[in-house]
């Protein structure tokens, strides 16, 4: 079953350098799905913090995505690699409370191809659901 049909709530933190039209692009999804898909543009993927991810999960996200620029293409040099480390830390933390680490996922965009954040969100919604609704939300 895909993530849309499974009724999963997605939170997407993304580097706004990756989509110059992100402000307009994400609105269509926000209109269509309301709070089921929440976007948080970041000035750089490296701005993501474990606390952002934990608060997103606590607020009802079933799955959190952090979208960063391709490796070697970060405008601030190391933002994407920093994001990766923070995700790994947060995955370990949620595993300590018996949540699956895969509820947090890093998406490194392919090089040389600009993305529209709404297209990416639709692609994510169409992905096979690897986790069910979060016990934090459904209890």
Partner 1 sequence: MITAERKPISEIKEMIAPYRKILVVGCGSCVAECASGGEKETGLLASAIRMDAKSSGKDIEVREMTLDRQCVYEFIDQLNDVIADYDIVLSLGCGAGVQAVAEVFPKVHIVPALNTTFIGQTKEAGLWIENCRGCGDCKLGVFAAVCPVTRCAKGLFNGPCGGSKSDRCEVDPDVPCAWQQIVSRLQDRGRLDLLRKVHPPADWSKQQGKGPRKIYREDQRS
Q: Kindly give the interhelix angle for 117-125 and 22-33, rounded to the nearest 10 degrees.
A: 30
CA distance 27 to 94: 30
- Kindly write down the DSSP assignment for every residue of 20-37, as one continuous string: TTHHHHHHHHHHHHGGGE
- Stretch near partner 1 under the rule CB under 8 A, chosen from 6-14, 31-39, 111-119, 128-136: 128-136
Q: Which of 3, 9, 50, 68 binds partner 1 (CB under 8 A)?
A: 50
Contact between 94 and partner 1 (CB under 8 A)? yes
Contact between 107 and partner 1 (CB under 8 A)? no
Q: Which of 8, 57, 69, 74 binds partner 1 (CB under 8 A)?
A: 57
For partner 1, give the closer residue by CB, 51 or 126: 51
Q: What are the helix (H) ranges across 34-78? A: 50-58
């Amino acid at each position: 079953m895909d993530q849309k049909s499974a009724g999963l709530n997605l939170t997407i933190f993304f580097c706004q350098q990756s989509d110059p039209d992100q402000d307009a692009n994400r609105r269509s999804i926000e209109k269509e799905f309301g709070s089921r898909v929440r976007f948080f543009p970041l000035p750089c993927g490296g701005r993501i913090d474990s606390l952002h991810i934990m608060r997103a999960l606590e607020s009802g996200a079933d799955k959190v995505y952090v979208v960063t620029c391709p490796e070697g293409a970060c405008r601030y040099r190391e933002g994407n690699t920093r994001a990766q480390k923070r995700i790994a830390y947060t995955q370990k933390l949620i595993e300590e409370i018996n949540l699956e680490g895969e509820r947090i996922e890093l998406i490194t965009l392919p090089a040389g191809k600009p993305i529209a954040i709404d297209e990416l969100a639709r692609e994510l919604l169409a992905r096979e659901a690897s986790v069910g609704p979060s016990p934090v939300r459904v209890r």
